[in-house]
Amino acid sequence: MEIRFQQSPKETRSMGTSELRENFLIENMVQSDQIKLVYTHYDRMIIGGIQPVKQVLELPNHPELRAAYFLERREAGVINVGGKGRIIADGQSYEVNKLDCLYIGKGVQSVRFQSADAANPSVFYLLSAPAHKEYATRLMKKEEVLPVQMGAISTSNQRTIYKYIFEEGIHSCQLVMGLTVLAEGSVWNTMPAHTHTRRMEAYFYFDLDFNQRVMHFMGEPTETRHLVIANHEAVISPPWSIHSGCGTASYSFIWGMAGENYTYTDMDPAPIETLK
């Protein structure tokens, strides 16, 4: 498990492209029959990519956690963005199809991941945050979610938001998680932008063609920077940073947050005319 420490706004202002990518971009997240985990000190979130193909993969424990097992003091949310799959949590099996979400509560000792078809393997994206209380493990199918329409064609940001883990959906200690699907012809996400200094956020981009990219904007509203992101890559967004992107073609992304405030709508706007 890779460990990444925090970077302040002052440090980030002076970073070049390679330094920005080294600190905030997570590349090569999806690899056959492997689990890749990155521990960020922003609210101690763990970000993971899991692709079982021919093997059943078990969520490993790591010495850095100083725990008896991975979820001894943590909770996790998992969304599948690939083929049909299965997650087995302490012997209970859950069928997780594309865009389904499984919340796994604190205290679950064994978590295993499996694809239904090796020719069309699952791609599981995992977020995990510290937890103080046990909540029941719960599967939410994409069809159960009430979609929220946002944006407009005229501003190239018409999109559908699916909220899974939040105060009115799957209950958790502090983890908030969902995904956004851009409408055909729309390329902008989360614009106008915002920050929320009470919690960090992570973005994971998917359903982006191999030769296309997303220009992800980050940084303080008056000190913006950008990262060029490919399919199945994630970006760590500090609490003081905006998080917005524009793609060269259609794409979708998973968003997830952890921190002091659990309220989804707790945002500090960064109006377009103030960005620099």
- Rounded Cα–Cα distance for residues 90 and 73 (Å): 16
**Residue 30's pLDDT is what?**
97
- Cα→Cα distances 268→125, 181, 192, 264, Å: 27, 23, 11, 12
Per-residue pLDDT of the chain (276 residues; tens, 9 = 90+): 999 999 999 999 999 999 999 999 999 999 999 999 999 999 999 999 999 999 999 999 999 999 999 999 999 999 999 999 999 999 999 999 999 999 999 999 999 999 999 999 999 999 999 999 999 999 999 999 999 999 999 999 999 999 999 999 999 999 999 999 999 999 999 999 999 999 999 999 999 999 999 999 999 999 999 999 999 999 999 999 999 999 999 999 999 999 998 888 899 999 999 999
Kindly list the distances between the CA atom of residue 142 and the CA atoms of 102, 113, 134, 219, 275, in Å, as whole numbers in the listed order: 11, 19, 24, 32, 35
**Helical residues (DSSP H) of the chain, grouped into ranges:** 9-13, 17-24
What the chain holds in terms of domains, given with CATH numbers, is 2-274 (2.60.120.10)
Peptide linkage before 121 cis (omega within 30 of 0): no
3-class DSSP state of 31: coil
Distances, alpha carbon 208 to alpha carbons 12, 17, 231, 233, in Å: 27, 22, 5, 10
pLDDT tens for 204-247 read: 999 999 999 999 999 999 999 999 999 999 999 999 999 999 99
